[in-house]
Amino acid sequence: MTNVRIFVTYKPSVFDPQGETIKEAIQSLGHDEVTAVKAGKFFDVTLTATGEDVARAVKEIADQLLVNFNMETYTYQVMEEA
């Protein structure tokens, strides 16, 4: 069994209005030390697969469902494999 965390973010070239708004809200609370905020989504996926099968499944799930490749990109991280 494998746990992967798939991170979905806007591409660097795409404006992130949520992150920008949150940055301004944080600064208005007095946290001038915060200079940038980017917002993203993540999905913790548990699979019965391991190894190469995980990489293939994550790619298919991202391609077919989780990611809008016009505006977004993704990375993933294997959190636990047993």
Nearest distance from C-beta of residue 70 to a copy of itself, angstroms: 19
Nearest distance from C-beta of residue 3 to a copy of itself, angstroms: 9
Nearest distance from C-beta of residue 11 to a copy of itself, angstroms: 14
Which SS3 state, helix, strand or coil, does residue 25 take?
Answer: helix
The count of other CB atoms within 10 Å of the CB of residue 18 is 12
Residues in contact with a copy of itself by the rule CB under 8 A: 1, 7, 19, 22, 25-26, 29, 31, 33-49, 53, 57, 60-61, 64-66
Integer distance in angstroms from the first to the last C-alpha of the chain?
A: 5
- Chain position carrying tokens 């920008």: 20
